[in-house]
Amino acid sequence: MGTLVLTISFIFLWFSSSSSLALAITFNDTEALTQFRLQTDTHGTLLSNWTGSDACLSSWIGVSCIDGRVTSLSLPSLDLRGPIGSLSQLNQLRLLDLHSNRFNSTILSITNCTNLKLLYLSGNDFTGEIPVSIGSLQRLIRLDLSDNNFHGNIPDEIFKLSRLMTIRFQNNQFSGQVPDFSSLPKLYELNLSNNGFSGKIPERLLAKFGEKSFAGNADVCGFGSFPACSFSSSSKSAPSVAATAANSVVPSNPSSFPATPVVDKGKNESGTKGLSIGSIVAIVVGNAVFLLVIGSFVVAYCVGSRENSGSEKGERGRRSYYNGERRVYASNGGGGESDGTTASDRSKLVFFDNRRQFVLEDLLRASAEMLGKGNLGTVYRALLEDGSTVAVKRLKDANPCERKEFEQYMDVIGKLRHPNIVRLRAYYYAKEEKLLVYDYLSNGSLHSLLHGNRGAGRIPLDWTTRISLVFGAACGLARIHEEYSESKVPHGNVKSSNVLLDKNGVACISDFGLALLLNPIHATARLGGYRAPEQAQTKTLSQKADVYSFGILLLEVLTGKAPTMYPLPSNPRQENEHAVDLPTWVRSVVRDEWTAEVFDPELLRYKNIEEELVAMLHIGLACVAPQADMRPTMLEVAKMIEEFRVEQSPMAEDSDWRSSVSPSLVTTEDAMTNY
């Protein structure tokens, strides 16, 4: 009996001490954030809801927690200012996003947050050098220090961060030799532009990341548009060569190398300096460019004259795959009152930028292929005479829309630019014909990749590619919602068939805003399995309904099942009248603890992704919450997906597949910092 009492007392004391420890840890996190607020929100208006004794239980803005610890702090674009040293106590922090504020001082304290994966500090007033203790951030995946006042050399300790996929150091004052980041195996994005780097750009870096990543550094050399490297600046071993040639000692810092070595092969025997090979090449190239510019003006003039002449002749009645109106007018004005039309009758292609403009006649002459029919119209691939390809959507149910209203909608859609949104290039309005011209994306849709050819010989869509495509779509949708946060303009038609892949495999969301042209009853009915519960009564489109549709898309990616009706798992042979929608089916499987059966069998062969699968399942279920107010915003969804996104495909045999469709992390990650 005494032993039992002693054991119970021990357990009680153990739980009491554990609870006290948890409370102490939570209090420390809350205390650290409170100190941070006092230092950075001097007027107390920017973080006004940071009240209460527990940051995790009080739903502080920008704060996310797991098991009572702060794991995410996201406070972008709030005009906060001051030092951030108080954040050093948040040792469970995974995501820190403070971009576009006015924080200052150094970032030394951040290196204590050894669990950081995502660090976004761009657009502030940070100073000093990158501390050598940055090597302690072994889990870091994204590092964005751009648009600050950092200076000095990049410490070698940064090469210890073997998981880095993104480095953005542009628009600072860094100096020294261009670091060779080739040793970081997972690095997909690098930007060192507009700093004070010097010396030779490592060839592998320049070939992989392009010239833009190193532009704006006056003293660098390499190939392409950069000046050729002399032997005095070609590598770290160059100083000894230069010293031998010049019979003098040259400092080891490449920025202090002589502008020209003493021994100059460009000199002739008499000692006078002639033209170097580089100078001759520059002169030849300059002359060629000059002649090319002159020739371009001549060709443009001739082509313009020919088109004007052609329009005056007024080719009429041209038959095309569009089967449009009997008479069309190109963007040069075409036709006129003399041919029986009025100025108000005339229509033209309206472009949103100056890139590769063409006239309507060019579009009608183009060879075309029908890509498919959707709820909003038919899509064609049009190959223009200049060799460029565009996608043309012919709207079928927007005819009642008046010109002014239609143009207002197009202005809303056309001005939005984002790497994960299909770009609307131009539109054409006529009474019985409405055409939309988009950039052509050549790699099909997420729907076709998920559900196409499910039989033998199918190449499965691997986990890394799935989650990257979902992430890209989330970023595009979040950008739409953020841009129109005040007016609450939705996408209106979120589904897997509207997530398209460009030539690099980057996911871009299409059909933004087109559902607004339809009668709301028709628009909501066409959502099918992607329709939110409240839309059955309200018959309206909304951003919260977009989140629900995206949740269905995410569950579709995880389960491999299209959003239709499924029998409950407890009665797999039930008749269709007892079937349920995809979210209900998923919840029932999870509730019965058959979680593994939720996931697409094609995903079960991958190892060590269980954590990511379950995390993404929880995100999807949060999006499809029956109550609209309980759903997260798309910005929150994008950040949650980024937190759990895997870094590479677990199966090497899928490498060929990934190289053809896997999205560029540069593009998708740029998306994250644009909102």
pLDDT, tens digit (0-9, with 9 covering 90-100), for 147-165 = 898 999 999 999 999 999 9
- What local confidence, expressed as pLDDT, does residue 295 receive? 57
CATH top class, domain 348-440: alpha beta
With cut-offs at 50, 70 and 90, classify the pLDDT of residue 51: confident
Q: Is pLDDT larger for residue 565 or for residue 94?
A: 94
- What local confidence, expressed as pLDDT, does residue 334 receive? 34
- What local confidence, expressed as pLDDT, does residue 280 receive? 52
- What local confidence, expressed as pLDDT, does residue 292 receive? 58
Element (H, E) at 168: strand 166-168
Nearest to 481, CA basis, from 617, 663, 637: 637
- What local confidence, expressed as pLDDT, does residue 628 receive? 93
CATH topology of domain 29-221: 3.80.10
With cut-offs at 50, 70 and 90, classify the pLDDT of residue 21: very low
DSSP strand pairing (507-509 vs 142-144):
unpaired
pLDDT, mean of residues 486-506: 90
- What local confidence, expressed as pLDDT, does residue 516 receive? 86
Q: Is pLDDT larger for residue 359 or for residue 584?
A: 584
pLDDT of 359 > 80? The answer is no
**Tokens, residue 105:** 């001082």
CA angle 416, 420, 426 (to 5 degrees): 45
What one-character-per-residue DSSP string does 364-415 give?
Answer: HHSEEEEEEE-SSEEEEEEE-TTS-EEEEEEESS-TTS-HHHHHHHHHHHHT
Distance separating alpha carbons of residues 335 and 317, to the nearest angstrom: 13
With cut-offs at 50, 70 and 90, classify the pLDDT of residue 415: confident
- What local confidence, expressed as pLDDT, does residue 143 receive? 95
Would you say 199 and 221 are in contact if contact means Cβ atoms under 8 Å apart? Answer: yes
CA angle 144, 145, 151 (to 5 degrees): 150
Nearest to 97, CA basis, from 143, 60, 134, 131: 143
Distance separating alpha carbons of residues 67 and 17, to the nearest angstrom: 17
With cut-offs at 50, 70 and 90, classify the pLDDT of residue 594: low
- What local confidence, expressed as pLDDT, does residue 113 receive? 94
pLDDT per residue as tens digits for the range 293-302:
455 554 454 5
**Tokens, residue 279:** 């100078």
- What local confidence, expressed as pLDDT, does residue 162 receive? 92
φ/ψ of 393, rounded to 5, equals -105, 125
What's 418-455 look like in SS3? CCCECCEEEEEEECCEEEEEEECCCCCEHHHHHHCCCC
**Domain spans, the chain:** 29-221, 348-440, 444-570+578-648
Q: Decide: helix, strand or coil at residue 41.
A: coil
Distance separating alpha carbons of residues 640 and 202, to the nearest angstrom: 35
User: Which of 436-440, 521-525, 540-544 reaches the highest mean pLDDT?
Assistant: 540-544
- What local confidence, expressed as pLDDT, does residue 398 receive? 56
pLDDT of 308 > 70? The answer is no
With cut-offs at 50, 70 and 90, classify the pLDDT of residue 257: very low
C-alpha distance from residue 608 to each of 498, 603, 613, 614, 659 (Å) = 30, 11, 10, 12, 22
With cut-offs at 50, 70 and 90, classify the pLDDT of residue 14: very low
With cut-offs at 50, 70 and 90, classify the pLDDT of residue 342: very low
Please count the residues of the chain: 675
User: Which of 399-403, 464-468, 516-520 reaches the highest mean pLDDT?
Assistant: 464-468
3-state helix, strand, coil in the chain (%, to 5): 40, 15, 45
pLDDT, mean of residues 14-38: 62
- What local confidence, expressed as pLDDT, does residue 368 receive? 75
- What local confidence, expressed as pLDDT, does residue 358 receive? 76
pLDDT, mean of residues 393-412: 79
- What local confidence, expressed as pLDDT, does residue 397 receive? 62
With cut-offs at 50, 70 and 90, classify the pLDDT of residue 330: very low
Q: How many helices (H) and strands (E) does the chain have?
A: 16, 22
Q: In CATH terms, is domain 444-570+578-648 a member of 3.40.250.10?
A: no
pLDDT of 270 > 60? The answer is no
pLDDT of 268 > 80? The answer is no
